[in-house]
């Protein structure tokens, strides 16, 4: 019946605070994670913007410049005009020099090689022109062809260098771009995973919270309500409550259980009080009040169902003298013995015996005819007169009783009181007929004294 208090228990307020604390902590952690990730993205973006992008742009720019250098070299090789060669060579010089501004030694070296090659080509062309202008006749076609061959080889070599450089520029840029996109992809995946975790956890927590509310709040409340209902139904068996997780609920449980105990006790006290109010203290027979109520009920039943009903009024003879002679205690003993006689009758057939007052008793026989009632009355009278009551001084007291009998069929009665009055008059008749006798009034209802044959 009592909720056990041992074991783990937590107050609902503390649980609520714990939950709020957890949510706050979680929000802070999630925000922290987000900030860390966003900062990482920001840093990556800044790194890309400030480092990688300029690198890609400079690779791209250098690739274009290398192409430009190659086209200048090609123009010089094809120019065969002194002034044009000079203009182009000046441009080549500046362009080649500009590569030394970037910290890329391989590139600078290649470009300067091309610049040197261009110079050589111009020098060869100048040599040829001098030979042409100096002594055209003396110009050996062999030497000229040889010089042209040299120029071609230098030109081809320069082209190979520029091709190689621009290839490596472009593939370097591609590798950088690939690396950049790879970094972005990795960060995106990390963020994706982190956010899945961040979002899944609250879902799990929510499911857990719903489970806890259902199991540890709603179900205990339901069993508490059931407990209250069982108290309402006056179920005497105590209800068993499972120990709740939350302290507040166990307080409610204890209150309900205490209420159950109190109302059970009250119920019992009530039944005892009711019994006491309908019982005669001395003889434990029904008292006059409950007899009259019973009579009224049985009278109504007999009137309605047209069944018979008889009552007896039993009065001990000369009881006052017994009291005077042997004391009230002996008087009480006599009364108790008489009550026992009446009780034994009640054990044999349906009837209700009561102490009507003083030394007067009454018995209701539902569905009993006047004749039968007279027979029962005679048995009672005999039983009482055969009682042997011993005093403390071993003296024997003998008592007798006069009995008045009345039946609803012997006259027309307006109420149970009239029937009772009729029985009373029969008793009066018995007293006047010498006591220790059973009497009933004649069916006319008149008070004429008429002896009923035994």
Partner 1 sequence: MKTTSFAVVTIAVLTFACVATADELKLKIATEGAYPPFNSIDASGNLVGFDVDIAKAVCHEMKATCSFIAVPWDDIIPRLENNQYDLIVASMSYTDARAKRMEFSDSYYRSHSAFAGDPNRFKDISPAALKGLRIAAGSQTIQSEYLQKAYTESTIVLTKDQPEAQKLLQAGEVDLVLADSIDLLTFLQAPESSKFDYVGDPVTNDFLKSSAHITAHKGNHALIAKVNEAISQIRLNGTYDRINNTYFPFSIY
Q: Which residues bind partner 1 (CB under 8 A)?
A: 61, 64-65, 68, 83, 86-87, 90-91, 93-98, 100-101, 108, 112, 115
Spatial CB neighbours of 420, under 8 Å, sequence gap ≥ 6: 292, 295, 311, 313, 362, 406
130/289 with CB nearer partner 1? 130
Q: Label the pairing between strands 309-316 and 360-366.
A: antiparallel
Measured over the CA atoms of residue 441, residue 444, residue 447 and residue 448, the dihedral's sign is: negative
CB of 70 to partner 1, least distance (A): 12
Spatial CB neighbours of 442, under 8 Å, sequence gap ≥ 6: 410, 448, 450
CB of 97 to partner 1, least distance (A): 4
Length of the chain: 454
Long-range contacts for 36-39 (Cβ within 8 Å, ≥24 apart)? 37/187, 37/190, 37/191, 37/194
Spatial CB neighbours of 92, under 8 Å, sequence gap ≥ 6: 69, 72, 73, 76, 114, 115, 118
CB of 91 to partner 1, least distance (A): 6
163/350 with CB nearer partner 1? 163
93/261 with CB nearer partner 1? 93
98/371 with CB nearer partner 1? 98
95/198 with CB nearer partner 1? 95
115/404 with CB nearer partner 1? 115
CB of 109 to partner 1, least distance (A): 10
15/122 with CB nearer partner 1? 122
Q: Label the pairing between strands 401-407 and 438-440.
A: parallel
58/323 with CB nearer partner 1? 58
Helix (H) or strand (E) holding 357: strand 352-357
Cβ-count burial 200-235 (b if 16+ within 10 Å, e if not): eeeeeeeeeeeeeeeebbeebeebbeebeeebeeee
CB of 126 to partner 1, least distance (A): 11
CB of 87 to partner 1, least distance (A): 6
Q: In which region does residue 306 sit, left (phi positive, over 0), alpha (psi from -120 to 50) or beta (all else)? A: left
CB of 80 to partner 1, least distance (A): 18
Phi, psi of 183 (to 5 degrees): -60, -45
Q: Which residue intervals of 242-366 are DSSP H helices?
A: 247-278, 288-305, 319-326, 328-348
Report yes or no: 396 and 365 within 8 Å, Cβ to Cβ: no
CB of 116 to partner 1, least distance (A): 8
């Amino acid at each position: 019946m009592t909720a056990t208090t041992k074991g783990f228990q937590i107050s609902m307020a503390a649980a609520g605070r714990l939950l709020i604390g957890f949510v706050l902590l979680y929000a802070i952690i999630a925000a922290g994670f987000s900030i860390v990730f966003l900062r990482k993205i920001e840093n990556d973006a800044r790194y890309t913007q400030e480092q990688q992008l300029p690198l890609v742009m400079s690779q791209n720019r250098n690739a274009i410049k290398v192409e430009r250098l190659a086209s200048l070299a090609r123009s010089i090789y094809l120019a065969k005009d002194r002034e044009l060669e000079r203009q182009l060579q000046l441009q080549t010089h500046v362009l080649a020099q500009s590569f030394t501004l970037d910290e890329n030694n391989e590139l600078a070296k290649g470009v300067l090689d091309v610049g040197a090659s261009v110079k050589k080509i111009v020098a060869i062309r100048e040599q040829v022109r001098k030979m042409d202008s100096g002594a055209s006749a003396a110009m050996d076609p062999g030497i000229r062809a040889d010089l042209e061959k040299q120029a071609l080889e230098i030109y081809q070599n320069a082209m190979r260098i520029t091709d190689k450089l621009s290839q490596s520029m472009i593939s370097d840029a591609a590798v950088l771009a690939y690396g950049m996109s790879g970094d972005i992809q990795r960060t995106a995946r990390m963020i994706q995973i982190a956010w899945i975790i961040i979002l899944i956890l609250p879902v799990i927590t929510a499911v857990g919270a719903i489970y806890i509310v259902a199991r540890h709040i709603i179900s205990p409340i339901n069993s508490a309500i059931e407990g209250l209902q069982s108290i309402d139904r006056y179920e005497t068996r105590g209800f068993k409550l499972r120990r709740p997780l939350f302290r507040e609920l166990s307080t409610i449980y204890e209150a309900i259980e205490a209420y159950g105990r109190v109302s059970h006790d009250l119920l019992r006290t009530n039944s005892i009080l009711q019994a006491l109010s309908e019982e005669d203290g001395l003889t434990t027979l029904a008292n006059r009040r409950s007899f009259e109520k019973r009579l009224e009920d049985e009278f109504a039943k007999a009137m309605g169902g047209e069944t018979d009903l008889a009552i007896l009024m039993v009065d001990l003879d000369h009881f006052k003298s017994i009291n005077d002679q042997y004391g009230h205690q002996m008087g009480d003993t006599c009364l108790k013995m008489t009550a026992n006689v009446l009780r034994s009758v009640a054990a044999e057939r349906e009837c209700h015996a009561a102490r009507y007052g003083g030394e007067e008793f009454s018995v209701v026989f539902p569905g009993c005819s006047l004749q039968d009632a007279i027979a029962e009355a005679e048995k009672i009278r005999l039983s009482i007169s055969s009682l042997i009551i011993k005093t403390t001084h071993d003296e024997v007291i003998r008592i007798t009783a006069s009995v008045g009998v009345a039946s609803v069929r012997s006259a027309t009665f307006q109420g149970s009181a009239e029937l009772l009055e009729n029985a009373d008059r029969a008793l009066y008749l018995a007293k006047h007929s010498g006591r220790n006798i059973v009497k009933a009034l004649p069916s006319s209802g008149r008070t004429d004294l008429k002896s009923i044959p035994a």
